[in-house]
Chains A and B, each alone.
Chain A
Amino acid sequence: MAGGSSIDVLGQFELRPVLGGLGEALRFSQSPLYMILAACLVLAFLYFGMRPAAVVPGRFQAAAEVCYEFIHSMAVDTIGPEGTAFFPFIFTLFFFILAGNYIGLLPFSFTFTSHIAVTLALAVMVFLLTVIVSFKVQGFRFFAHFMPAGASMFLAPLLIPIEILSFLSRPVSLSIRLFANMVAGHVMFDIFASFVIMLAGFGVVGDVFAIGPIAINMALVALELLVGVLQAYVFAILTCIYLREAVAH
C-alpha cells in the first residue's frame, strides 16, 4: 500500500494468463482455473460422499447430506414451496462462493471472489433472475413492489423513488459486500505477513516481536473461515429473500 515500498498487498489480486499465449488469447487467467477447481472440489465431495448411498450414512456421506439438507431447508423455508425449483441454483451459488472463499485461504492460491467483476456478475445474474421470475409470476403487478401496500397515497412520490433505488441497489450491495470482505481479509493477511518479514530485518529482537503478527494472522485465518462461510450464506439467503419476493402472489 501507500507506505512501505516492500509491502505489495494488491499483487495477490493480479491476474496472470494461464498457459502463456493460449491463456492470453482465451482470456483465461488463474481466476477461471480456480473456479474450475472449486466446482470440481464440490462435485468430488458430493460424488465420493454419496458413492456408498447407504441408508445409514458414514461421516463423509452424512457431511454431503448435511450440505444438501442445509441449502434445501434454507431455500424451501425462505422462498416457500416454490423453493424446490430454485434449490439447485441456490446450492450452486452457495457452494461456488464458499469453495472460492475457502480455496483462497490456502497459501499461494487465488481468491476469485475478491474480484468485483466476478461478484458483480453473480449479483447481476441473481438480480436478472429475480426480475425475470417476478415478471413471469406476477406480470405487471411486479411494479406494485415499488409502492408498499397500505401506504398513504400522499407518500407515493417519496416512497416510489426510494423503493426503486433500493431495488436497483441490490446487485451493487450484494456484490460489493462479498468483494470487500474478501479483499479486506486478504489485504490484512498480506500486511501482517509483511510485518513479519520486515521485523526479521531487525535481528533477534525483530524475530521475537514477529511472533505478534504471526499470532494475529493465525487468528485472522479463523476469522476468515467464519467470514468465508458467512458471506456465502449472506449471498445465498439474500438471493432466497429476493426470490421469495419474486414468487409471491
Chain B
Amino acid sequence: MGVMMKMVRAGLFATVSGVSLLVMAAPGAHATGMPQLDFHNPLVTGQVIWGAVIFLGFYLVLSQVMLPRVGRVLEDRSKRISGDLDVARAAKQDADKAVAELQQARKDAMAEAQANLQKTLDAEQHATDQKLADISARLTAEIADAEKRISAEKAQAFGTLKEIAADTTQALVSRLTGVTPDAQLVAQKVDGAIAHRNI
C-alpha cells in the first residue's frame, strides 16, 4: 500500500510538474513562433469573445429556427406515413370484412342449394316410392288373381283327370274281363287312389 501510494504520489508530482513545465514553456514556444500560443496578441484572445458571440448566434438560429424546421418536415413525413398506413390498414380491414361476408353468403347459398336439392331429391324419392308401391300392389293383385285362376284351372284339370281315369279304368277292366264294372265303384276307387298318391 505504502509503495503504491508513493508511486501514485510520484506520478502525480511528475504530472503536475510536467504540466507546469508545459505552461512555463508556452512563452518559449511563442518565442520560437507558434502564433496560437502568442497570448499577448489581442487577436488571439479576441477569437474567444468573437467565437462565443458567433457560436451563441449560430446556436440560437439553429435551435430556434433551422432545426425545428427540419424536425417538422421529418415529423410531418412520419405522421403522413403512419396516417397512410392507418388508411391502408383500415382498407385492408374493410376488404377482409367484405371477403368474409362474401364467403358467408357463398356458404349460405351453398347450404340453401343443398337443402333445395335434398328437398327435390326427397320428393322425387317419395314419388318413386309411391309409384313402386302402386306397381307392386297392382302386381300383387294380379299375381293373386292369376294364382286364383291357376288353382281354378288346376281344380278343373283334376276333375277332368278323374273322369279320364275312371273312363280309362272302365275301358281297361271291360276289355280285360269283359264285364263292365260299376261306374260308381270305379269312381270311388280312383278317388281312393288319388287320395293315396296325394296328388
Q: Which residues of A contact B (CB under 8 A)?
A: 10-11, 13-17, 26-29, 31-32, 35-36, 39, 42-43, 46-47, 50, 53-55, 61, 64-65, 68-69, 87-89, 91-92, 96, 112, 114-118, 121-122, 125, 154, 157-158, 161-162, 165, 179, 183
The answer to whether A112 and B47 touch across the interface, beta carbons within 8 angstroms, is: yes
The answer to whether A17 and B43 touch across the interface, beta carbons within 8 angstroms, is: yes
Contact of B35 among A15, A53, A61, A88 (CB under 8 A): A15
The answer to whether B15 and A165 touch across the interface, beta carbons within 8 angstroms, is: yes
A147 CA to B80 CA, complexed, in Å: 49
The answer to whether A121 and B52 touch across the interface, beta carbons within 8 angstroms, is: yes
The answer to whether B67 and A68 touch across the interface, beta carbons within 8 angstroms, is: yes
A39 neighbours in B (Cβ, 8 Å) = 54, 57-58, 61
* Besides the known contacts A54-B73, A117-B44, 4 further A-B residue pairs in the complex with CB atoms under 8 A apart: A10-B35, A31-B51, A96-B58, A115-B36
Interface band, chain B:
35 or more
Number of A-B contacts (CB under 8 A): 132
B12 neighbours in A (Cβ, 8 Å) = 161, 165
Can you list 5 A-B contacts with CB-CB less than 8 angstroms, sorted by A residue number? Answer: A29-B47, A35-B55, A91-B62, A92-B63, A165-B15
B69 contacts A by Cβ under 8 Å: yes
**Nearest-CB distance from A159 to chain B (Å)?**
10
The answer to whether A69 and B50 touch across the interface, beta carbons within 8 angstroms, is: no
- Tell me if A's interface is mostly helix, strand, loop or mixed: helix
Q: Which residues of B contact A (CB under 8 A)?
A: 1, 4-5, 8, 12, 15, 33-37, 39, 41-52, 54-55, 57-59, 61-63, 66-67, 69-74, 76-77, 80
A157 neighbours in B (Cβ, 8 Å) = 5
A122 CA to B59 CA, complexed, in Å: 13
B74 neighbours in A (Cβ, 8 Å) = 65, 68-69
The answer to whether A117 and B47 touch across the interface, beta carbons within 8 angstroms, is: yes
**Nearest-CB distance from B182 to chain A (Å)?**
138
A89 CA to B64 CA, complexed, in Å: 11
B80 neighbours in A (Cβ, 8 Å) = 55
The answer to whether B5 and A15 touch across the interface, beta carbons within 8 angstroms, is: no
A47 neighbours in B (Cβ, 8 Å) = 66
The answer to whether A121 and B51 touch across the interface, beta carbons within 8 angstroms, is: yes
